[in-house]
Amino acid sequence: MPEITEEKFLKAYDMASNTNQRFAPDVMLYFYAYYKRATQVNGFYIPPTNEGDLRDAFKVNALLQVKNLSKQEAREKYVELVEEHIGEVTA
């Protein structure tokens, strides 16, 4: 797969942000984790969770699953996810 450009990644993000489609919770977590990993500025960050907040726990788990991806790999995975569930990303 050719390297995903910043333009294509941002187009994929725009498509995902503006779709009216509903996705399964696990797909939403992948969108979240790949995006966060692809856009991290300084190192790997796990946000603090509110004790007892199951949603935060799932987000942290999703981030831990992608922590070994490079930013470029996370971009590629994000674009693949958009293309699989929303449509082709043209940039």
- CB atoms under 10 Å from CB of 61, counted, come to 12
pLDDT tens for each residue of the chain, 91 residues long: 567 899 999 999 999 999 999 999 999 999 999 999 999 866 666 666 666 678 888 888 898 899 999 999 999 999 999 999 999 998 7
Q: Is 24 exposed, middle or buried (0-12, 13-18, 19+ CB in 10 A)?
A: exposed
Q: What is the pLDDT of residue 46?
A: 66
* Domains of the chain (ranges, CATH numbers): 6-85 (1.20.80.10)
Q: What is the pLDDT of residue 44?
A: 62
